Each structure stands twice: as C-alpha cells, then as structure tokens.
Amino acid sequence: MAEIVNVHEAKTHLSRLLERAHSGEEIILAKAGKPYARLMPMAKAPGPRQPGRLPGRVEDDAFAPLPNEELDAWERP
C-alpha cells in the first residue's frame, strides 16, 4: 500500500521521496490529512521511433497541393 506523507514533511524530504518513487514506490501527498497528489515512477519511454513498423501506406496524392477552394476555406476567420 502507498505511504501517505503530509505536504510539510514532503517539502522537507523531497529528494528522499523522489528516490523512493523512482525505485518503484507510490507515495501519496496529503494536504490537511486528505490525499492530494501522488508521487510514482514515470513510465519507461517506448524507445526510438521505427518508420514503417505499422502496416499501410500513405498514397502519393496525400502530398499533392490543395485546391484553392480548400485553401480559402482554411483561411476564413
């Protein structure tokens, strides 16, 4: 279960609490005894993007210039 820490104590020991959260613990920050926020480890980044890993293709006409009527519609207030 997550530990509940008062905001005043969290300000005093923030570095220590961040290390604990980074190691996998979940810490609930409380304000006036009521849960207010949560410290928890960030999700791991998915890694570098890989072009072409999904099926399908973008057709060449997707890069064709838009007709003037379409451009005019985008410029309206």
pLDDT digits (tens, 9 = 90+) for 34-70: 999 999 998 887 888 888 888 888 899 999 999 999 9
pLDDT of residue 49: 84
Instruction: Count how many domains the chain has.
Output: 1
Task: Give pTM, 2 decimals.
Answer: 0.55
Q: How far apart are the first and last CA of the chain?
A: 53
Dihedral sign (CA 60, 62, 65, 70): positive
How high does pLDDT run on average in the chain?
90
Confirm whether 24 is domain-assigned.
yes
Confirm whether 55 is domain-assigned.
no
Q: Which domain holds residue 9?
A: 3-39
